Structures are given as structure tokens and as C-alpha cells.
Chains A and B, each alone.
Chain A
Amino acid sequence: MYNDLIVEHFTSPSYVGDIDTPDLEYELGNSVCGDRIRIHVKTTDGFITDIAFRAWGCATSVATADIFCNSVKGQSLEDINKRESQNIASMLGELEPSQYHCLDILKELHSSLLSEIMEGEFDG
């Protein structure tokens, strides 16, 4: 049911936690019953220098948050913005139908990160 990538990032996540004074903090979730993910981000000169998450939900969504953090840490916001939808979709490996909602979560993690920056809510 779970591919190796999901198993690895769920059972041994590297980015769980908080950042004391994040430049950006955002949260995704469904208010009735869905998964919740909170992201803390530090940036310097247009680069993601530190990132951490807390996630509550199914194993795949927790792994998704860790995979996302791993993929953006050290990357420039410009490069993250250039990621194409099909590349983002392949980041989670092969999924079961019941796990496909995590692709939407991953896309939203990307779009929320970029939109928060575009809105200039913090000094990157």
C-alpha cells in the first residue's frame, strides 16, 4: 500500500519541528476532517535556508510534508517557482488511489509557499 519513499519519510522524517522565528509560517488543512500541515520557513537572499513542519493526518500526508521540505531546502525560490506540475506529481512515487489527495497537498504546499512570498508578507 505504501511505496518505499512514503515508508522512509513517514517513519524517519528529517524535518519535523518548529523554527523559533520563521520568516514565513503557513498551514494547510481541511476544517472538517482532513489532514493538517504547518510549515515554518527561513529564507536568505531568495533561498530557503531552513524549513520545518508539523503534520497531523494519514501516513502519506506526513511523508508528503517531509518530502516537500527535503526538496525545497537549499533551493532558490526562483527555481521552486519553475517546477512543473508533472515534476511535482512524480515526487511522491507511485500512489494508491486513496493516497492521490496527497498530490493536491504537495501542489498546495508549493503554491502556498510561493503565493505567500509573492504577497510580500515577509522579507525574503
Chain B
Amino acid sequence: MYNEFFEHAEKVGLNPLKIAVSSVEELFRLPQEVLLDFKYGIIKESFTYHYESNNYYHNACVEKGVTPDSIQSFADLVKIPLIPINLHKSNDSHKLLTVGLNSIELEMRSTGTSGIPSVSRRCSPTVDGAVLSIYAMYREFFKISNGAGLYLCPSTEEIPEMGMIKALNMLAGLLDTHRFMVKQEQFVPEDAVKQLNEWQNNFTRHIIGPPFLINRFIRFLKASNTKIKLDKRSYIITLGGWKRFTGEILSREEFNQECIEYLGVEPHQIRDIYALVESNVMAVDDEFGEKHATPFMHFSVRDPKKLDREVEPGEVGQLAIFDPISRSTPGFILTEDLVRLLPGDSQSGRSGQRMQYVMRLPESTEFGCCAVNLDKRLDEQDENASDETCPVVA
């Protein structure tokens, strides 16, 4: 079926991948087996493209005895050689490029606890796909087209290449107004409360940012005994790690409870997003708190002790991502994240894969994104801060 679609689209001069990326809502409504067949087609095409155009990846495939002919069905996707995510941090990450450096339009990065940035390089077709895909996922899960966004993070002007901020900032384009509340590594929670009050009864107010900075804001609200009642259609949108620089893991359940108590929202208004700067994938919470993967990408959950084996849905394993949007580097990535795929049908009726993030691989020395470093900086500042800047006791 996919081949017919692909051939027809190309015959009339259309890009099948771009059609897929623009059809997120429709893909979520396809029967599961049709969606799998569709994903198989675009992932195989992507594998063939990188196999034929990327010397480094081609050699790695040859070494493992895998060629495009080895991939004959959906079940064969597990054979596709994966790129460990830490290769994006290596000194010679240029070898990952399938296109020349001059075709790269955008470099984005993320920095975790090691301080070594993971840099991903995107060519124009990849940026096209990523932008369409991200907006399609935002529209599918949030249906936001107006309102005000209180961004508890720095602006893209301060850190223009940071993937997490870039993705969140794209959401701002759908809003009427927004404000970044972290400036020069300073966050003044009183200003955030004041801004929310100014927007009250003028805009639907959304709070957007990494979990730890929203948690930091809630700690202030708690300490100052302040309770806010956001609006009926407000969202608390989080993106970024749930593990602090101290190693403490923030409990999602506790976070939700505190959002309900101090920000006056319902559970369905609290939405977390899983994303990686090295991939164009997103997994977004629906109204039931189930995280849906971008429907034209594929999550393959592996046994960490035997990486060529997939675990059953419901079992915890190491996440591998097949991202057919990525044209600048092979989008077949072995992450350091432990997740489980949710078995059965989704409560919202959407097709495709749903995942639950469990934790970073225990062996991983790296965790977090730029948020974890900001959290650390803000904590250091709290220790020295006067009462007028932040009365929160960590």
C-alpha cells in the first residue's frame, strides 16, 4: 500500500514524507496495521537513503551484514544498525553527516550534566520536516491558537541553539503574547506571579518550561502561601528532564498534585513532552496522560543486555528511535533512556505507539538537558540570594 502511495505522490510531484508529516491527525486515526505498513515504507526509504549516501553509516552496516535488501518487512526494522546517542557528542561527529556541511541550515544542541554538548545538525529538508512535525503535534494535542505563555526558561535570544528552548519557543508563535521569565540565569518568581495577574481575564494563560523550573516556581508559591487559579483552557506544558542535578528525581505524581493545588488546574491540563535534540521525534501527553509518539516515527524498545532484541509492550527497555525525517544524519538512534511502550488501545482512540518514560539508563553518566544546568545555577544563586530576589528555601 505504501509503495502505491509513494509512487503516486512522486508521479504528481509531491514529497510523500512531507505529506505524512502534514497528516499527523489522519495518521493517528489509521488502523494500527495500516499505520505500521506506512511507517515501514518511509523508514525503509530513509535507511536506503543513508545507506547509499553516508560512508560512515554504510561501512557500519556492511560490517553488520545489513543492506536495504535485508529489510523486507516491518519485523526486519529491528536489524537496522543504530547510532548510539553519544556519537553526537564525539569530537568527530562530522562523520555522521549524510550531507555536506554546507547543506546544514541549523545546528542545535543540548547539554546535560557532563557539560559536553550534544550537537545535532539539520539540513533544510530536515528542518522542513521538523517544523511541520512539531507544529502538527502541538495542534493535535493542545489545539492552541491564542492565549499567553509564561515561559519559565531563558529566551531563544539568550541561548539560540538550545533544542529544548527552540521547540518550546515554536509554541509561542501560536499564542497572542508570551514572556520569558529567566534572564541572565535569574528567575524572580514574584515577577512571574505579577505577569500572570496582568494577563488574567485578558488571555488564557499557559505555563511552559522544563519541569524543574516550574517546580521551582511552585516552591515559591508554597513558601509564600500563594495559590493561583489558571483558566479553564490553560495548560502546564513541560519539556526536559525529571532528574535534578543533585540526582533527585522529581515525582510526576507529586508535580501534578502541586500544579493542581497551587496553579488551579485539572490533571488533563498538565502535559509533558518527551523529545531529544538529536531526533525530530516528540511524544506528547494526551488528555489522559498517555504519551503518544509522533505517528510516522517508530519506537523500538530494546533489551539493554541484548540490544538486538525488542522487549514486549509493557516491559521496560532501552529506547531506540527510527526517525525518517532526518536527512542530514541517520535518524536511527539508540538513546540512553529507559521507557516502556503501553500495551493495548489508547484511551483517546489514537492509533500508534504510546510510551511511558521510566528513567535514564543507570550506567549513563549523563543526564538532563540545559535545564539541569540552569536548575543548578539557580540553586547556587538561591544560596546567596537576598530575600528580595527569591524567598524560596530549596
Contact = CB atoms under 8 A, between A and B. Distances in A.
Q: Report whether chain A binds chain B.
A: yes
Interface of A: 1-2, 6-7, 10-11, 16, 29, 31-36, 54-59, 62, 98
Contacts of B162: 33
Given A32-B370, A59-B94, A7 B116 contact: no
Bin chain B's interface residue count: 20 to 34
B370 A33 contact: yes
A35 B185 CA distance: 18
Interface stretch (B107-115, B279-287, B386-394): B107-115
A60 to B, nearest CB: 9
Quick one: which of B89, B109, B111, B373 has the most chain A CB within 10 A?
B111
Given A33-B373, A58-B161, 18 more contacts: A1-B104, A11-B94, A16-B91, A31-B377, A32-B111, A32-B159, A32-B374, A34-B111, A35-B117, A36-B117, A55-B91, A56-B89, A56-B91, A56-B117, A57-B119, A58-B119, A59-B94, A59-B119
A2 B105 CA distance: 9
20 contacts: A1-B105, A2-B102, A2-B104, A6-B101, A10-B94, A16-B91, A32-B159, A32-B185, A32-B373, A33-B109, A33-B162, A33-B370, A36-B116, A54-B91, A56-B91, A56-B117, A56-B119, A58-B161, A59-B101, A59-B121
A56 B120 CA distance: 12
Contact of B117 (A2, A11, A16, A33): A33
Contacts of B121: 59
A34 B89 CA distance: 13
From A6, A56, A98, name the one whose CB has the most chain B CB atoms within 10 angstroms.
Answer: A56
Contacts of A58: 107, 109, 119, 161
B100 interface: yes
Contacts of B102: 1-2, 7
B146 to A, nearest CB: 31
